[in-house]
Structure 1
C-alpha cells in the first residue's frame, strides 16, 4: 500500500477546501440570482395583470414592463401584423410549450421559456373584454440572465486563479514544513544504520526543536548503552576466561606431575563453583531486565530473613573480626515479595558489606507511612559522589578492584517490585538503603 506524502496530503486537503468553498459560493450566488430574476418577472407580470383587469381599453396594447400579444383559445394569432415581429417568435414558443404540455391554459402559472437563446417568463390570461381572446404577457429577463452568466464566468476565473495561487502557496509552505521533517527522517535513518553523531540542523519551529532535542538525547543514550554493553561483554569475557584459564593451567600442571591430585581437584572445584555462580547471576540479571522471571510472591518478614542470611555468613564475619548489629522494630515488618529474590538482595548486600567493612556491620529496619526501609551500613571507606550511581552498573569495578554484578542484581530486583535503592556515604559510614512498598 502506497501512502500519501505529507505534502501531497496537505495539497489535496486544501485543494478540496478551496474548491468546496467556491462551489458553495457559486451555488448560493446562482440560487439568489435565480430567485431575484423570478421575483422581478413575477412582479412585472402581476402588475400587467392588474392593469389589464382594471382597464377598459379593449384590445389595445398594454405598454408596461411586460410585452404582450393576443391569441385565440385555439392558439391562432389575432393580429396579422405579427408575422415578422418579436411577438411572432414568442407565439411560436408558446405553441411549442403547448404541444409539450398538452396545452397551456390561462392561469396564475408563470412559465419559463428560452427562445432564440433569450430567457422569457410567460403568463396567459383571459381578455376581460372578450372571452374568445387570450392575452399572452411575457417579459424578457435576458439582461439579468446574461449578467448571471457573466458573473458565473468571473467567479469561475477567480476560483481557478485562487486554486492555482493556493497550489503554489501550499507547495512552498509544505516544502518549508517537510524539509525539516525530511532532514530529521534522514537523521533517524542514519542512527538506525549505526551513526551516533547528534543532529545540528537549525530549526525555527519549537516543535521541531523539541523533536530534534529528543532524538539527540536518544542518540546519546544509545551511544552510552552501546559503550556499556561493550564494557559489559569485555568484563564477562574476562570473568569467564579467568577461571577457565586457571582450570586449564591446573590440569596441565597435574598432567606433568607438577600438582597433586587433591590440589588439582580443589582448584577445579573452586573455579567451577565460581563459573556456576557467575552464570547463574547473569541469567538472573537478564531475566529481571527482560521482566521474564517467574516469582512466587508471598508475605515475608524481612527481620527473619536478615537474621537467617547473617547466621549463614558467621564464618566470614569471624575471619574478618566483624561485629554484626541489628536495630529492628517490634512492629511486624512483612512485605509481599519473592523469597529467593529477596534472599539474593540481602546476600549480595551483606557480602559487599563484609568485603569493605573495617569493624562492624549494622542492619536497620525502619517503618514509614507507606514504605518499609531496610538499611545496611558498614564503617568502610567512603564512596565518592561520582561513583554512587555507577556502582549499580553491571561489572563495575569497585575501589578495591572487585568486579561483579551483585549490586546490579539488587537494583534490578528492587525496580521489578516497584522499590528503590540508593547509597549514602561519609568518611565514617557507608549505607545502602532499600525502600519497599508495604
Structure 2
C-alpha cells in the first residue's frame, strides 16, 4: 500500500504572522466599532429628527392667524417656529410653503441657515422624486447644498398649498464624517504600533526558540552537557529545564549503554575464551577430550543463559507501556514458581516456607514476566540460604507486597546500593543480570523493589493495589 505524501505546508516566519494576526484583530475591532458607531449615530439622529418633525407638524401644521410682526408673502401666513422645542442634537426646524407644482410660495427670509438656492434645490428634489406633499413623512433629501429630512402637510386654509417642514442634518453628518476620519487616522497609527509590537513580541519568542533549537542540535550531536538557560517567560524557562533534564537522562543512558556493551563484551569473552582454549587443547591432543567436552558444555550453557538474559532484559525495556496485564492472584504465581524450584532446594536440603494472606491477593500483571522475576529472586535465594527460604505475599495498606527472604549471610553494605545495577556482581554472583531483570519487571508494572539485610537478605516488591 502506497503511503500518501504529506501535504506541503507554506512556512512563514513568526514576525509577519504576528503582524498579520494583530492587523486582523485591529481590522475586526475597528470594523465593529465603525459599523456600530455609524448605525447608532444614524439611528439617533434620525430618531431625534423624526420626533422634531412630528412636533413641528403637530404644533404648526395648521397655523392660526399670524401676528402682524411675522413675515407674510403674497398673503400667505408662515407658521411661527420660534416656539419649537429644542432637540438633543441641536438642529433647528424650518418651513417653506410649496404649491402642488412644487414651486416655492413662501419662505422665511430671516432664516440664518438657508438661502433661496438651497430651498429651490429642496423643492426640485421633491419634484424629481415625485414626493406626495399631502402627507410626506421623514423624507431624506440630499442636495448639493446639504442634507435634510422633511415632512409636509397641506394648508387647510389654502388648498393646493403645503407646509414643508425640514431639518438640516448636514452639520451632524459632517461631524460624523470627521469622527470617522479621526478613527481612520487612529487605525493607521495603530497599524504602525502593531508593526513595532509584532517586532518586539516576535523577537521575544524567536530568540528563546533559537537558543533552545541550538541546544537541541547540540543534544542531537551527542553533547549532553547541561546548559545554563534563563528566560523571562515561564514557559520557555520550563522548556529549557525539561531539555536539560532530558540531556542528563540521555547522558546517563549513553553512559549506561557504553557500560552495558563493555560488560557484555567482557561477559561473552570469558566463556568464549574458555571454550576456545579447551577446544584447541583437544585438537592438539593436550587435554582429555571427555573432561574438555564437559567444560565446553558447561561454558556453553553459561553463555546461552547469559545471552537469554540479555535478550530478555532488552525485550522488557522495549515493552514500556505496552505489556498485556490481567488480574490474577499474586499468591498463585509465587507459589507456582516456588514449586518448580523445590527440587533444586531439596538437593541442598533447603526448606521453602510460605506466609501468604488467607484472602486472594489480586493484582493486574503480566504473569509470564512476574513469574520470571519471582524465579530470579528464588534462584538467588537458593544460592545463599543456609536452611530456609521464606515467601510472603499479601496486602499492605493500599499496596500489594511480595517478599523473598533467605537466612544466608546477607549482602554486604558495600554491595547493597548496587545489586540492581546491570552486570554488577557481588560475592559469589553470576553475571549480574538476574536482579536487574527483576527490577525492570517490577518497574514495568509500576512497582518498586527494595532489599535489606538485617537477618539474611529480604527482597520486597511493592505494587499499587488494584
Which TM class, normalised by the smaller chain length?
0.7 to 0.9
Q: 1:382 offset after TM fit, Å?
A: 3.7
| Higher share of residues assigned helix | 1
**Which segment drifts farther, 73-82 or 189-198?**
73-82
TM-score by length of 1: 0.83
- Provide Cα deviations, 1:59-102, integer angstroms capped at 9, x if missing partner: 134464433333321334446999xx9444443444344434x4
1:374 to 383, 389, 403: 403
Change (3 A) 1:17 1:301: closer
Q: What is the distance in 2 between the residues matched to 1:228 and 1:51?
A: 103
Change (3 A) 1:92 1:334: closer
Secondary structure of the residue aligned to 2:453 is strand
Q: What is the distance in 1 between the residues matched to 2:108 and 2:437?
A: 117
Q: 1:372 offset after TM fit, Å?
A: 4.3
1:1-400 equivalent positions in 2, closer than 5 A: 1-2=9-10, 7-49=15-57, 50-57=59-66, 59-62=76-79, 64=81, 65-78=92-105, 86-100=115-129, 102-116=130-144, 118-291=146-319, 300=332, 302-303=334-335, 305-315=337-347, 317=348, 324=351, 326=353, 328=355, 331=358, 341-356=369-384, 359-369=386-396, 371-384=400-413, 387-399=415-427
Q: 1:338 offset after TM fit, Å?
A: 6.3
Q: 1:157 offset after TM fit, Å?
A: 1.1
Change (3 A) 1:280 1:424: same
Q: 1:301, 1:332 within 8 Å by CA — same for their partners in 2? A: no
Matched residue, 1:414: 442
Q: 2:18, 2:202 within 8 Å by CA — same for their partners in 1? A: yes
Q: What is the distance in 1 between the residues matched to 2:170 and 2:79?
A: 21
Change (3 A) 1:114 1:406: same
Q: What is the distance in 2 between the residues matched to 1:305 and 1:26?
A: 81
Q: 1:267 offset after TM fit, Å?
A: 2.4
Q: What is the distance in 2 between the residues matched to 1:263 and 1:153?
A: 108
TM-score by length of 2: 0.79
Change (3 A) 1:156 1:284: same
Change (3 A) 1:79 1:229: same
Q: 1:363, 1:375 within 8 Å by CA — same for their partners in 2? A: yes
Change (3 A) 1:3 1:44: same
Q: 1:421, 1:435 within 8 Å by CA — same for their partners in 2? A: yes
Secondary structure of the residue aligned to 1:231 is helix
Change (3 A) 1:42 1:55: farther
Change (3 A) 1:403 1:45: same
Change (3 A) 1:335 1:130: closer
Q: 1:377, 1:432 within 8 Å by CA — same for their partners in 2? A: no
- Provide Cα deviations, 1:264-295, integer angstroms capped at 9, x if missing partner: 32222122212211122122222222227789
Q: CA RMSD in A?
A: 3.5
